[in-house]
């Protein structure tokens, strides 16, 4: 047995050495040009702006039926929980994370493991929404990822050995990290999770080489941000707004607003775009005011952490609608003028188009079938609240222990949750993985206690249609028109990718990787991976052939929080694999 183990380790080391000899360091230029470089994927979002658009045309609507499995890799062990990762590929090596804060390096040609890293998680971690991880960052000769006990880890990309490990926050207070870090100019930038525990959200930047803290930016108004030099805090802090201005009393001290999904970056404005989560607690009657910077999109200076502008989608959020969804930069023409825009599909059911240079509201419109909590948006993009029965009641107004229950749509799991949408530079459309569900929600008395759930609300989620919950939508950001839709029986919880081959890819909880015609929505391809797909597909070129990869493994928030919806998915099998497909060379039309 020992000799077998030694032999296996030697083979893996030899494979790693052979591959690393041809591997190059990931540079700032590589990351900046990622969307236009089909051989590699070195940024979360297949480009820093997060468009998830590939320029590769070999695989297209005419030959998609010839896409075939090349290999499948098992994450192994009993840790079969939600697999929400986006794979990265550099010089023939795939880097992918798995549940419980694991990282794998895989030979992208053969599917053989090169190395594996398992974070040593302590007892008592408190992830609200499954033990997921959404991916790594690549830079220089290192692989970076966050852990469920709120650490940032740098690994040698050839061996998987830790280079440095930094504690970002206290997991015992409810902090965690589930998102892929962002890389800008030698800095590794991460947000944190934990809004359901009354933490204080923050975005932080670390030196890629040393792991030293460069700046910290809390995302609750009243908390100061700072820059650091040689490990020392710079005297002049970056103001975080006036304490108590949009928060009553001391509630800003446990205000939530966790930027738990990670960010995108726009080089044209030198801005990081992060979304922030719900204010804490959920019971909005305890915190009258806008509660900045919760449920917002923030433009952050990557050099200092300063907030350049903010746009709040749900002021005084009383439904856990967050505002964390990705903000995707794109340009469009209007009256002969190029508009530098950014778009986001919010959990609250509205789609927003902003001026990414200053955060000004351009337009907004519903992207779900029904919204009950608001009647629309005003000229500045603020919601026009339904004042009759839109907000759950105040417990102080009743004799019982909870306030009046209301039926709210969308549910708090959102018109769109974490699962990233995609933007096609060819069609000019956004492809939005959305869901149609509602909730009964009520407020309850609550007080803050470190490390304890800090909700002050109860809820029951239920489907709003008999035949479908998930809807993949093609949305026109200039008109608000829904161009086409695909309805899925179970909720859609995986990300979307689109390509210059007129294709849109996503996965379903039923286990399918699916491809659609980007212009018409016609379903062109499906393959059952054996477990629900809640990861995000990617595509790249290797040895003259186009490949597609996606993680498979059912889990995430739906089976944990879904109420009546969870009954729809209760028999779905958990799993833990990454599937890779390719289009054979002889099926490609002449270039």
Give pLDDT, residue 282.
96
CATH 2.160.10.10 fits 2-587, yes or no: no
**What's the Cα-to-Cα distance from 464 to each of 109, 350, 491, 555, rounded to whole Å?**
44, 18, 12, 22
CA 30 to mean position of chain CA atoms:
22
Confidence of residue 8 (pLDDT cuts 50, 70, 90): very low
Tokens of 101: 């804060």
Give pLDDT, residue 457.
96
Lowest-pLDDT range of 236-250, 338-352, 491-505: 236-250
pLDDT tens digits, 390-449: 999 999 988 768 999 999 999 999 999 999 999 999 999 999 999 999 999 999 999 999
Higher pLDDT, 564 or 177: 177
Q: How far apart are CA 311 and CA 116, in angstroms?
A: 40
Tokens of 55: 């320029």
Q: How far apart are CA 102 and CA 75, in angstroms?
A: 9
Confidence of residue 577 (pLDDT cuts 50, 70, 90): very high
Could you give the percent of the chain with pLDDT greater than 70? 94
Are 157 and 141 contacting, i.e. CB atoms less than 8 angstroms apart?
A: yes
Give pLDDT, residue 236.
56
CB proximity list for 10: less than 8 A, separation 6 or greater: none
Q: 525 in the Ramachandran plot: left (φ > 0), alpha (ψ -120 to 50) or beta?
A: beta
Q: What are phi and psi of 473, to 5 degrees?
A: -120, 140
Lowest-pLDDT range of 218-232, 412-426, 523-537: 218-232
Residue in 320, 322, 378, 440 annotated catalytic: 320
Query: Residue 150 pLDDT > 60, yes or no?
Result: yes
320 is catalytic: yes
**Cβ burial 90-119 (10 Å sphere, 16+ → b, else e):** bbbbbbbbbbbbbbbbbbbbebebbbebeb
Give pLDDT, residue 1.
38
Give pLDDT, residue 179.
98
From 272, 321, 294, 261, select the one nearest 132 (Cα to Cα): 261
Q: What are phi and psi of 320, to 5 degrees?
A: 60, 45
pLDDT tens digits, 131-144: 999 999 999 999 99
For 213-234, what is the HEC assignment?
EEEEEECCCCCCEEEEECCEEC
Residues paired with 446 in a beta bridge: none
Query: Residue 4 pLDDT > 70, yes or no?
Result: no
Query: Residue 12 pLDDT > 70, yes or no?
Result: no
pLDDT, the chain, mean: 93
CA 194 to mean position of chain CA atoms:
15
Give pLDDT, residue 9.
52
């Amino acid at each position: 047995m020992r000799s077998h183990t030694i032999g296996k380790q030697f083979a893996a080391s030899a494979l790693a050495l052979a591959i690393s000899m041809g591997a190059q360091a990931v540079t700032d230029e590589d990351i900046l040009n990622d969307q236009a470089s089909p051989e590699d994927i070195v940024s979360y979002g297949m480009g820093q702006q997060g468009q998830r658009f590939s320029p590769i045309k070999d695989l297209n609507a005419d030959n998609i039926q010839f896409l075939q499995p090349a290999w499948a890799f098992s994450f192994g062990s009993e840790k079969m929980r939600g697999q929400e990762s986006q794979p990265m590929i550099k010089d023939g090596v795939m880097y992918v994370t798995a549940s419980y804060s694991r990282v794998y390096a895989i030979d992208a040609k053969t599917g053989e493991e090169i190395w594996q890293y398992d974070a040593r998680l302590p007892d008592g971690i408190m992830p609200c929404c499954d033990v997921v991880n959404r991916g790594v960052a690549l830079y220089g000769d290192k692989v970076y990822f966050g852990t469920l006990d709120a650490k940032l880890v740098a690994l040698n990309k050839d061996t998987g050995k830790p280079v440095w490990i930094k504690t970002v926050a206290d997991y015992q207070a409810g902090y965690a990290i589930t998102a892929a870090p962002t890389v800008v100019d030698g800095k590794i930038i991460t947000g944190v999770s934990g809004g359901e525990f009354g933490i204080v959200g923050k975005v932080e930047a670390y030196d890629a080489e040393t792991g030293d803290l460069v700046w910290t930016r809390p995302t609750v108004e009243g908390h100061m941000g700072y820059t650091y030099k040689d490990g020392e805090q710079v005297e002049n802090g970056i103001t975080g707004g006036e304490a108590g201005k949009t928060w009553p009393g001391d509630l800003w001290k446990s205000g939530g607003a966790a930027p738990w999904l990670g960010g995108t970056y726009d080089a044209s404005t030198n801005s990081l775009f992060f979304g922030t989560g719900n204010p804490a607690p959920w019971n909005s009657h305890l915190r009258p005011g806008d509660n900045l910077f919760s449920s917002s999109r923030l433009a952050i200076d990557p050099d200092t952490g300063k907030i350049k502008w903010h746009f709040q989608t749900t002021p005084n959020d009383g439904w856990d609608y967050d505002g964390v969804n990705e903000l995707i930069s794109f340009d469009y023409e209007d009256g002969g003028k190029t508009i530098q825009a950014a778009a986001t599909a919010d959990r609250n059911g509205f789609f927003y188009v902003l001026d990414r240079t200053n955060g000004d509201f351009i337009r907004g419109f519903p992207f779900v079938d029904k919204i009950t909590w608001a009647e629309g948006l005003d000229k500045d993009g603020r919601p026009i609240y339904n004042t009759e029965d839109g907000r759950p009641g105040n417990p102080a107004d009743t004799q019982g222990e909870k306030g009046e229950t209301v039926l709210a749509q969308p549910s708090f799991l959102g018109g769109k949750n974490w699962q990233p949408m995609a933007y096609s530079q060819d069609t000019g459309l956004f492809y939005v993985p959305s869901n149609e569900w509602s909730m009964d929600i009520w407020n309850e008395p609550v007080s803050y206690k470190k490390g304890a759930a800090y909700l002050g609300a109860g809820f029951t989620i239920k489907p709003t249609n008999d035949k479908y919950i998930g809807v993949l939508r093609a949305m026109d950001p200039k008109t608000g028109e829904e161009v086409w839709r695909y309805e899925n029986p179970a909720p859609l919880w995986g990300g979307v990718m689109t390509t210059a081959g007129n294709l849109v890819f996503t996965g379903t909880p039923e286990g399918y990787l699916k491809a659609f015609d980007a212009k018409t929505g016609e379903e062109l391809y499906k393959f059952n991976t054996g477990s629900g797909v809640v990861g995000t597909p990617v595509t790249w070129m290797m040895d003259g052939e186009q490949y597609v990869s996606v993680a498979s493994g059912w889990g995430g928030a739906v089976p944990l929080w879904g109420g009546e919806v969870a009954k729809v998915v209760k028999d779905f099998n958990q799993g833990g694999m990454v599937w890779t497909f390719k289009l054979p060379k002889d099926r490609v039309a002449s270039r």
